[in-house]
A and B are shown apart, each in its own frame.
Chain A
Amino acid sequence: MNNSYPARENWRRLKNRLILGTITVLALIPTVPLFLILFQLLHKGLSSLSLDFFLNLPAPPGEPGGGIANAIVGTIIIVGLATLIGVPISIMAGIYLSEYGKESKLAHAVRISADVLQGVPSIVIGIVAYAWVVRPMGHFSALSGSVALALMMIPVVVRTTEEVLRLVPDILREASLALGIPYWRTVLKVVLPTGMVGVTTGILIAVARIAGETAPLLFTAFGNQFMTFNPLEPMNALPLVIFNYATSPYEDWWQQAWGASIVLVFMVLALNIVSRLLARRIAGEK
């Protein structure tokens, strides 16, 4: 009888370790695909990365030395323009929801619309941008792609802006109002700057999300074999290069698609890391 106690204790200790081990393994499973993806990308694409790859324009299949310079520039321009279009609208809407609309019917309608818009499939957003911008202009353009991406970005930034501004303590609003500062100035000069780091984090997350979108660009920005800086012309972008090269019949283009994937993934990863660091800074300030 006396001997069974240590035995049972050992069994409990063992059970404890078994369960901890199982849970740890299960927790690691979600990280496995990420590392597999990174491994696969580096394995297949690293060989196509070279200075020329970043600096040269695409070459015809079979010709060596082709690059994706125009797609990198194109992605920066298209995403940048989308940010310029989407961010002011989103921030104003977020300010409205947090500081003015609050619990009003209009505010609820805006919130629901944003949530629904966020759920619209990106291919549908692409078609809509085609109908709204490409058809009236008569040709594909980077601008139409930016409009599509802005539509994808807006709901994300609206909701994060609202959430971040709601976290700004009321005592700061009151401090400003008690100094005789009008409400709109209080919002713009006290509430918004106080929440700015959070708003910026939200924008970076949204930018990271849209940078890799392909479907909205297929019939808007369309793609371009040449370098262009004109947003009114068709423009190349990293997701388009990957799509077009990967679906082509040429082996050296497949290779380049892997290379372009590495560039895109690391751009998005960098944005995510920066936004995490910013978010940590907010957490540290509180």
Chain B
Amino acid sequence: MTSIKNPIFRTEDLCAYYRDFMAIKHVTVSIPEKKVTAVMGPSGCGKTTFIRCLNRLHELTPGARITGKIYLRDKDILKMDPIVVRRKVGMVFQRPNPFPTMTIYENVLAGYKLLGIRLPKEVADRIVEDALRKAALWDEVKDVLHRRGTFLSGGQQQRLCIARALAVKPEVLLMDEPTSALDPKATLQIENLIVELKSTVTIVIVTHNMPQAGRISDYTAFFYLGELIEFGPTAEVFTNPKDPRTEEYLTGKFS
């Protein structure tokens, strides 16, 4: 498989379990920095479980555990405090999930507010504007910052969640099918946003949508029944897959 120089993430023989069920099987892979890596594969193949290992959200499921190693740069995140890991590795979920009790402004600052960190107003204002601009939402919400985030449309809510994740300045942004609950226009906005964001942050995105992976990703990891069966530059994986199962999936033989 393709080797990556100076990867931001590197897993070694990573296995993830739900009780006795092995959801991720011996995955060794390197994720390139400041690129978009798409994680693809049929339903139930372990895509989501894989990225939930990378910010240690997997272990919150009762009975879940991880073996093997996951390096963030040179540090094994399985030996770090999960809270520290999650500050460096942000996440955007399948369904937009702004905090319903908070305003748009407070949602963006949630990473600070919920920790009890008090920021001077100028600093807070700057973080909010910065994050919302990066998430391409500033122009739409700059006049309604103090309204509830749940009043926004689905696509706006998802960009608000992206802003919230970006506000704590993570090195990696994990995205779990971030557009699957959105309409085509909102999907396109998020896709454009992802391409813009990769200059500042590494993105690992789970997607079911092949054309989407083709449009936005630089690398593709293909999972099948918990195994990583193919990894490489997206163009290569799509046009010249090495594993017959990848080809079957890409041509729609199964899904």
Contact = CB atoms under 8 A, between A and B. Distances in A.
Instruction: Report the interface size class on chain A.
Output: 20 to 34
Contacts of A174: 57, 60, 91, 93, 97
B86 A194 contact: no
B97 A189 contact: no
B93 A181 contact: no
A194 B98 CA distance: 11
Contacts of B164: 175, 179
A284 interface: no
A177 to B, nearest CB: 7
Nearest to B110: A179
B111 A190 contact: no
A63 interface: no
Interface string B158-188: 0001001100100000000000000000000
A179 B97 contact: no
B116 A178 contact: no
A227 to B, nearest CB: 41
Given A171-B93, A182-B83, A176 B101 contact: no
B162 to A, nearest CB: 12
B100 interface: yes
Contacts of A172: 97, 99-100
A193 interface: yes
A193 B101 contact: yes
A194 B83 contact: no
B97 A171 contact: yes
Given A174-B97, A175-B99, A190-B99, A180 B168 contact: yes
Select the residue from A172, A182, A189 with max chain B CB neighbours within 10 A: A189
B87 interface: yes
B242 interface: no
Nearest to B85: A180
Interface string A192-212: 011010000000000000000
B172 to A, nearest CB: 12
Contact of A179 (B60, B95, B100, B111): B111
Interface of B: 55, 57, 60, 83-87, 90-91, 93, 95, 97-101, 110-111, 113-116, 161, 164-165, 168
Given A178-B90, A178-B93, A190-B101, 6 more contacts: A169-B97, A174-B97, A178-B86, A185-B114, A189-B114, A194-B100
